[in-house]
Amino acid sequence: MKQIVELHEETRKKISFLEEECQKLAEKLQNKYKQDFEPVYEQLVVDLIRTIKGKSAANEDVFTMDYESFLEVGIETEEDYFPNAYIPIWKCQQEMFQPVGYLTNLDLNSIEKKMNVMIEEMLAEREKGEEDV
């Protein structure tokens, strides 16, 4: 992740745009792989998560201390949710009395490739588990 100390409106727009694109990517990947998990009665969950100290946050809060956003992939069964992996997108924190942000080095294509690999690995684990039964 690259460090950003200039937290101004242009940076906010850049982060908001990337988060919106990641949200669209999450929907695209969830739709693409959704049917692959249905035979084992699991639901794939791909989502952009925005939090401040573990609590849900809005995209307007990007410069709030402890704000972070990340793409998360997990599995939901009838009763439980199991997070599997995530890719950090943005994080804002206090360092030496000033806010500092960290933005992913990855572009959208690289993020999509990494997410595809993670989901394919999850599918391979499911198939291996089915063979072992």
Q: What is the mean pLDDT of residues 56-77?
A: 93
Give residue for tokens 């992740």: 1
pLDDT tens-digit map of 71-83 = 999 999 888 999 9
Split at pLDDT 50, 70, 90, the class of 97 is confident
The answer to whether 108 touches 71, Cβ cutoff 8 Å, is no
Domain ranges of the chain: 2-126
Q: Is the pTM of this model over 0.85?
A: yes
